[in-house]
Amino acid sequence: MTSIELLADALAAYRTGDRDQAAELAAQAGREGSTLADELRAYLAGDGSAPVYDQPSAFTAFIRGGGNVELYRALSAELAARYDSAKPESLLDLGCGDGLAVVPALEQASHLPPRIDLVEPSAALLDGVHERVPSAQCWQSTAQDFLARDDLGWDFVQSTFAMQSIEPEQRAEVLRALQPRTGTLVLAEFDVPEFEEGSPEHLHSLVERYERGVAEYGEDATLVAQGFLLPVLLGIVSGQQRTNWEHPATVWAEQLTTAGFTDVGVTPLADYWWSPAVLITAC
């Protein structure tokens, strides 16, 4: 069996709760030269309840390395161009993180919205972005709680790879709340392939994509894999402690239409190891 087949079987075993079998299959795949297999075996050797490295440092290494460098460069340039074209008087960024997308976009743009609201659940990440955009009003909050607190509206709303972290039913509520209060909504998300979850095709696809993703990080591969990529992957496989709910771009567009947006379009943004990144615009 190839390392991909062995790893897919390892994920299938993990999905059924057989950690020992998953670890054994990962060890066999590692002997076939798979970096992902070595990382999976090491992860499964732990207690599985906490990453080897603290999540903030692992996520920082992930988001600021590998294919994310070019991805966010393209994203910020596209957002800046849209600020200059639309000239919004008010801007909302839901799930802004530490500003990796919005800060360079604002720095590149000729037009700066007079009112900027930045929303992020993590206090540490929000502090980082506030230092770089001192004129912004920063809110430590989830999107759900923030939109329930007042009836503000915005000319331009963006959310960059953050809506996928909201469980679909709650996301539907967020989109419905945004629709009457938004001039233009721009989502950056991934156009993921659609599989039956847990099917052999799904598990093979996960292995192939994650193998490419881990390989992009060189000396930081263990930090990124143990502290971020593997917890996310195994959450997808098991359906427990899940942190992401992604869809094909057509499904994102359908969700926006259901929420009441009437003009929805999808444009390519960048190639990426996980799936092609797209911009979804709705009015």
Q: How confident is the model over 235-247, as pLDDT tens digits? A: 899 887 677 899 9
Give the per-residue pLDDT at 126. Answer: 92
64: in domain: no
pLDDT along the chain (283 residues), means of 10: 95 96 96 95 77 64 95 98 98 96 98 97 90 95 92 95 95 97 98 94 97 96 94 88 87 98 97 97 97
Q: Give yes or no: residues 180 and 201 share one domain.
A: no
Whether 85 and 225 map to the same domain: the answer is no
Residue 55, in any domain of the structure:
no
14: in domain: yes
Task: Write down the pTM of the prediction.
Answer: 0.90
> Do residue 277 and residue 168 come from a single domain?
yes
Residue 228 lies in a domain: yes
182-190 and 154-160 as β-strands: parallel, antiparallel, unpaired? parallel
Domain identity same for 176 and 259: yes
Which of 127, 143, 131 minimizes the C-alpha distance to 93?
A: 143
Q: Are residues 232 and 255 in the same domain?
A: no
CA dihedral sign of residues 39, 41, 38, 215: negative
The pLDDT value given to residue 125: 87
Q: Are residues 259 and 232 part of one domain?
A: no
Same domain, 180 and 90: yes
Same domain, 254 and 211: no
CA–chain centroid gap for 126, Å, is 17
Residue 148, domain CATH: 3.40.50.150
Is the CB of residue 92 less than 8 Å from the CB of residue 157? yes
Is residue 269 assigned to a domain? yes
* Assigned token pair, 42: 């090491």
**Are residues 93 and 173 located together in one domain of the fold?**
yes
Is 136 a member of any domain?
yes
Name, in order, each residue with C-beta under 8 angstroms of 10's C-beta and a sequence gap of 6 or more. 21, 22, 23, 25, 26, 29, 37, 40
Residue 223 lies in a domain: yes
For residues 146 and 264, membership in a common domain is answered with: yes
Assigned domain for 218 exists: yes
Confidence at residue 57, expressed as pLDDT on a 0 to 100 scale: 84
Q: Are 92 and 167 in the same domain? A: yes
Where does residue 77 rank: exposed (0-12), middle (13-18), buried (19+ CB within 10 A)? middle
Q: What is the pLDDT of residues 197-236, one digit of tens each?
A: 999 999 999 999 999 999 999 999 999 999 999 999 998 9
Number of domains in the chain: 2
Q: Same structural domain for residues 105 and 134?
A: yes
The domain of 270 spans 69-192+246-282
